[in-house]
Homo-oligomer: A and B are copies of this chain.
Amino acid sequence: MTKARVTVIDIAKAAGVSKSTVSLVLQGSSLVNEATRAKVNTVMRDLGYVYNRGAANLRQAGAKSRIIGVVVNDLTNSFFAELAVGVDMVVQSAGFVQFLSNTGESIDRQREVVASMREHGISGLIVSPARATDAADFKPLVAAGIPVVVVVRNLPGAKVSSIVSDNRAGMVSAVKHLAGLGHKRIAFLGGFPDTAVFDDRLAGYRNGVEAAGLGYHEELVISSAPSRAGGVEAIGKAIALGLRPTAAVCFNDAVAFGVCDGLRSRRLEPGVDFAVVGFDDVIEAQAAVPALTTVSVDPQGIGRRGAQMLLKQINAGKAEAETMTTAVRLVVRESCGAGKTAPAKAGKSVKSKQDAE
């Protein structure tokens, strides 16, 4: 069937030159005569030669395989699919290929795929770490000189590069939006206080309310699990307050969905009787609650930037850990009643607002 793979030596023979010459042609060296180069190329095409990167890679010591690994925790989530597309774009045009694996939040799966990728000699790794990922998990990689870029979720202790979205600025813009609609008592709902992401978002909230001259009131910060159920719980507590808030920014979209659930079960229509803004870390908002106003991130942009950062480090040889935060923007949707974030009194209509920084 397969006529024993055609190698450089075959084409060298056929072209009447030596293997080194062929090798030089392969790497586009300028040390080779134009005529011979053309000849060699022709022969390669005729014989159907395919370059064997495995062999090349073997020879060039710990050199570049031109493979970059990408591991995400849920490709089913369009957020990560977009991320992967962003990575693929820059990776492809740089002549690399990507290994893409899904962990489904399983730390074991993650370890397996990363190990497998290493065996295949990836020259870099982009990872959105599964929940329980240990900061030390990627140490062996960086020790081996393989750059790692962590995206979306930061990994506190790890000495690797990372890209996360600008949580603080996102919350500031969300609060500003609500304040602009006339809200005076805005709650911060959901999320566990022991995470860096929570801290960032809460800080943004605080900056926002203070900038709007509303003051920061601790009782308006109600933490809960960062889930739909947590949202239901949080809004319950918020409504039970003496001075009931009229609006809320939520830790993430899941919480926002729960908050809407909780409101409806109390005969309050989200967006009409109570303004809700989500945080679109998991961009499915559009599908789940078409008109929820949220702070949106640009996953594809994160992917592109992450890949660029990684390639830079790969080319530089040494990986200088670097941290970057990407901009987010407030997206106000009003196609459905549930999307209005305005209180009954202030029926101001905002079409779509971009928030700088």
The chain A residues found within 8 Å of chain B, CB to CB, are: 1-2, 5, 48, 50-55, 57-58, 61-62, 65, 67, 70, 75-76, 78, 81-82, 84-85, 88-89, 92, 95, 97-102, 109, 112-113, 115-121, 140, 143-145, 286-287, 290, 318
| Copies of the chain in the assembly | 2
User: Do the beta carbons of B81 and A119 come within 8 Å of each other?
Assistant: no
Residues of B within 8 A of A101 (CB): 88, 92, 97-98
Partner of A2, one of B5, B75, B145: B145
Residues of B within 8 A of A70 (CB): 100
Partner of A97, one of B54, B89, B113: B113
CB closest chain-B residue, reference A122: B97
User: Do the beta carbons of A85 and B65 come within 8 Å of each other?
Assistant: no
Q: How far is the CA of A75 from the CA of B100 in the complex (A)?
A: 12
Partner of A58, one of B54, B67, B81, B318: B54
User: Do the beta carbons of B98 and A85 come within 8 Å of each other?
Assistant: no
Q: How far is the CA of A65 from the CA of B2 in the complex (A)?
A: 16
Q: How far is the CA of A112 from the CA of B286 in the complex (A)?
A: 34
Residues of B within 8 A of A99 (CB): 97-100
* 8 sampled A-B residue pairs with Cβ under 8 A: A52-B119, A55-B58, A75-B88, A76-B82, A76-B85, A92-B101, A100-B100, A290-B290
12 new A-B pairs (CB below 8 Å) besides A97-B117, A290-B290? A1-B318, A5-B61, A48-B140, A52-B58, A54-B121, A67-B120, A81-B81, A88-B102, A89-B102, A97-B99, A97-B101, A287-B287
CB closest chain-B residue, reference A102: B88
Q: How far is the CB of A332 from chain B (nearest CB, A)?
A: 19
Q: How far is the CA of A142 from the CA of B286 in the complex (A)?
A: 42
Residues of B within 8 A of A55 (CB): 54, 58
Residues of B within 8 A of A54 (CB): 54-55, 57-58, 65, 120-121
Partner of A84, one of B50, B100, B113, B286: B100
CB closest chain-B residue, reference A145: B2
Given contacts A58-B54, A99-B97, A286-B287, contact A81 B92 (CB under 8 A): no
Q: How far is the CB of A285 from chain B (nearest CB, A)?
A: 11
Partner of A50, one of B51, B65, B119: B119
CB closest chain-B residue, reference A82: B76
User: Do the beta carbons of A53 and B102 come within 8 Å of each other?
Assistant: no
CB closest chain-B residue, reference A2: B145
Q: How far is the CA of A162 from the CA of B129 in the complex (A)?
A: 35
CB closest chain-B residue, reference A100: B100
Q: How far is the CB of A318 from chain B (nearest CB, A)?
A: 8
Q: How far is the CB of A288 from chain B (nearest CB, A)?
A: 9
Residues of B within 8 A of A143 (CB): 1-2
Given contacts A53-B119, A100-B98, A121-B52, contact A75 B81 (CB under 8 A): yes
Residues of B within 8 A of A119 (CB): 50-53
Q: How far is the CA of A107 from the CA of B140 in the complex (A)?
A: 39
Q: How far is the CB of A218 from chain B (nearest CB, A)?
A: 39
Residues of B within 8 A of A84 (CB): 75, 100, 102
Q: How far is the CA of A2 from the CA of B145 in the complex (A)?
A: 6
Q: How far is the CA of A81 from the CA of B75 in the complex (A)?
A: 6
User: Do the beta carbons of B65 and A75 come within 8 Å of each other?
Assistant: no
Residues of B within 8 A of A61 (CB): 5
Given contacts A2-B145, A53-B120, A109-B92, contact A85 B102 (CB under 8 A): yes
Q: How far is the CA of A84 from the CA of B330 in the complex (A)?
A: 31
